[in-house]
Amino acid sequence: MKNFSSLHFVGISGSGMSPLAEAMFHFGTKVTGYDRDISDYGQALVHLGIPISNAPDFDFGSPDGIVISSAIAPDHPQVQLAQSRGIQVFHRSDLLAYILNPRKSIAVAGTHGKTSTTGMIAHMLSKIGLDPLAIVGGKMIEFGSSLLFGSGVCVAEADESDGTFLKYHPTISLVTNIEPDHMNYWKTEELLKEGFLSFVKGSSPDYPCILGWDSPFVRDISQNLDHDFLGFGFQLGCHIRALNCRPFGTGSQFDVMIQKERLKVEIPLPGRHNIQNALAALTVAHVLKAPMEHAVAALGTFKGVHRRFELVLSSSQVTVFSDYAHNPGKIEAACSVLKDYFPQHRKIVVFEPHRYTRVYSLLQGFVRAFSSVDLVLVAPVYSSGEMPMEGLTETRLAADIAKESRVKALPVSTSEQLILEATRQSDKKDVILFLCAGDVTKLMEPFLRSLV
């Protein structure tokens, strides 16, 4: 791909698109954008001076190319306009490869934990003075952005959902874990593992790849690697291992063994999954030969990523968290945090399933993921543009969750019913967790207002 003097982004407000657009803007490229709904990410770009339209027939002129995500259909009016003018259309992964591949870089892949781990690594590298270029799929709370624009090592998420992460050839590949997801694309578990193996093999053989050793699928692919790797996790056999893990307020404390060195670590985030993310970041620091005591201190100040178990309300009545979790592993991890950190409180989850194909292929995992909580309010499936599947209704899912997770589960069919039921069901000292990626996110504000 050539250097770009101008680019137009279709779907620019998305969490994966906006940091790319902002990065290119800072590189000196003229950037314009279109999105049907201009999100907070999009508004931040507008404040930088990037013009964004929500009109499908917006005439963006003749840029060097237009950039789209997998959510943009080939018959989208903006795509058709570009093709009629002979303007090249690039997938967002092509642009990320354009940024990442020529640089010293770290690409973070995995079924879950990508955004939090990438944000944690970016924060750590920034605090220890390595000035990263970080492209994160969520807003880092401390920086108020999903982009850190630096001149040092590049760190970015590598999305496996459509196989486009195979375009990336980073210096260091990192895999947090592998579980069945996006099976409408991968079809079988073996093909999924082969995809991750190809991703890892695409990184530089001069550096070890970094693998989440607690994941059986990750251990499977390690047997077919032809260059060095470092495993992190809780299990015996890890190169970087966590010991003595314990809650500390709303955060976590643990010891980490790195070769023969033992360090005490404290992070302001709860849960074993966040300890795993911290282990991944510390492994990166070890590979980069950074001072480990500085890396540990940096992780102690990481505030997290927006909508990754984010505390949105703490009052005398309730505590409310918001999380983007949308597959069974993420949901189970989030619910386990509630159980471990709020054992004396009643735990309520507002659950919005994401994508019919995902719910269909992982149904048994979903309905068994809520055993750590007391009540689940199940909203309709957020389709994300997919056609509905017969039988995958909130009523059926609530019944299956009640049976398999052995908790009370209620279907809520409308936004009004959801707010009413959530307000009616909550009581003093309850903890409420919103697990949603679509329409329900818009309901949190009115719900929170109803509690104050």
**What does the pLDDT read at residue 237?**
84
- Asked if 58 contacts 75 with a C-beta cutoff of 8 angstroms, the reply is no
Measured distance CA(384)–CA(230) in Å, rounded = 37
Selecting from 3.40.50.1110, 3.90.190.20, 1.10.3720.10, 3.40.50.150, what CATH number does the domain 310-451 have? 3.90.190.20
CATH topology of 6-90 equal to that of 310-451? no
Closest CA to 232 of 243, 223, 224, 244: 243
Q: CA 46 to CA 51: how far, in whole Å? A: 6
**Helix axis angle, 272-287 relative to 328-341, nearest 10°?**
110
Of 298, 234, 239, residue with least CA distance to 266: 298
Distance CA 273, CA 275 (A): 5
> How high is the pLDDT of residue 1?
45
Pairing of strands 375-378, 408-411: parallel
Which pLDDT belongs to residue 14? 86
pLDDT at 371: 92
Tokens of 339: 């159980």
Asked if residues 269 and 309 have their Cβ atoms less than 8 Å apart, the reply is yes
Q: Which residues does 279 contact at the CB level (< 8 Å), separation at least 6?
A: 232, 233, 240, 241, 242, 256
Count of all residues that appear for the chain in the document:
452
So what's the architecture of 6-90 in CATH?
3-Layer(aba) Sandwich (3.40)
pTM above 0.85, yes or no: no
What is the DSSP track for 195-208? Answer: HHHHHHHTS-TTS-
Find all residues with CB under 8 Å of 351, minimum gap 6, and list them. 331, 370, 376, 377, 378, 379, 401, 435, 436
Domain locations along the chain: 6-90, 101-299, 310-451
How confident is the prediction along the chain (452 residues), in pLDDT tens digits per residue?
458 999 999 999 888 899 999 999 999 999 999 998 888 888 899 999 999 999 888 899 999 999 998 888 899 999 999 999 999 999 999 999 999 999 999 999 999 889 999 999 999 999 999 999 999 988 898 888 899 999 999 999 999 988 999 999 999 999 999 988 878 889 999 999 999 999 999 999 999 999 999 999 999 999 999 889 999 999 988 999 999 999 887 789 999 999 888 999 999 988 888 999 999 999 999 999 999 999 999 999 998 887 777 877 777 677 888 887 777 888 888 888 888 888 888 888 888 888 888 888 888 988 899 999 998 988 888 887 788 888 889 889 999 999 999 999 988 887 667 767 766 666 667 888 888 776 666 666 766 666 65
| Neighbouring residues of 398: CB distance < 8 A, sequence distance ≥ 6 | 376, 378, 409, 410, 411
Helix 18-26 and helix 92-100, axial crossing angle in degrees, nearest 10: 50
Evaluated on CA atoms 208, 212, 217, 219, the torsion sign reads positive
Give the residue carrying structure tokens 């983007």: 324
E strands within 221-307? 229-233, 240-248, 251-258, 261-267
CATH topology of domain 101-299: UDP-N-acetylmuramoyl-L-alanine:D-glutamate ligase (3.40.1190)
Burial 63-83 (b: 16+ CB within 10 A, else e): bbbbbbbeebeeebebbebbe
Contact by Cβ (8 Å): 265, 253 = yes
Q: Supply the pLDDT for residue 165.
A: 94
The residue among 166, 169, 142, 139 whose CA lies nearest residue 154 is 169
Cα separation, 134 vs 65, in Å, equals 23
Pairing of strands 318-323, 408-411: unpaired
Residue type, 444: M
Torsion from C-alpha of 225, 228, 233, 235, nearest 10 degrees? 70
- Report the pLDDT value the prediction gives residue 259, as an integer from 0 to 100: 80
Amino acid letter at 288?
A: L
